[in-house]
Amino acid sequence: MKKMGIGIAGCGVIADIHAQAIGASRNLELVSCFDRNERKSKAFGDKYQIACHSDWEQFIYHPEIDMVSICTPSGTHFDIGMMVARAGKHVIVEKPIEVTLARANRLIAICRAEGVHLAVIFQSRFMPQIQLLHEQLEAGILGRIFMGDAYVKWYRSQEYYDSGDWRGTIKLDGGGA
């Protein structure tokens, strides 16, 4: 079986986690990366021994890319995801899918219209306790669920917000955690 080729858009901190996960897969191969910052793109490409691009057209039409993992600020996921889908590539976005419901829904609609898959990273879904809850819900053990509510305390230190000028902004981060 041919491995599916993945390109990573955005060579910041989370891109390394995506590259490591792709490297651990038997079915995927990291083939290319993109970042507007040529230095970051080259450093990432050299680290993983893949093609690197700071030109979007060269990246998105790289012949081995079947899908793109979008590792850019949250408020850019729609714009980049739309371009990826319209290039006929499958779309993976780091969470959240976007910072507004309207932009998230538009990205979903575009991916459907283009006939490509859309996936959103949320690694917690693979935690054993979440898997157990899912199994119990599917088996009907918990009865008929008609409402769910959760209060999740996400802490982000000031250093986290200082690590990127987009973090905590309404436009690119939805206001933050």
For 166, half-sphere exposure in the C-beta direction (CA atoms, 13 angstrom radius) is 11
Q: What pTM value is reported for the model?
A: 0.85
Question: Residues 141-176: pLDDT tens digits?
Answer: 999 888 988 887 878 888 888 888 888 888 888 877
Domains of the chain are 4-121 (3.40.50.720), 124-173 (no CATH)
Angstrom distances, CA of residue 54 to CA of 64, 127, 175: 17, 36, 28
Rounded to an integer, what distance in angstroms lies between the CA atom of residue 177 and that of residue 87? 32
Could you read off the pLDDT of 61-73 as tens digits, one per residue?
A: 999 999 999 999 9
d(CA 25, CA 21): 7
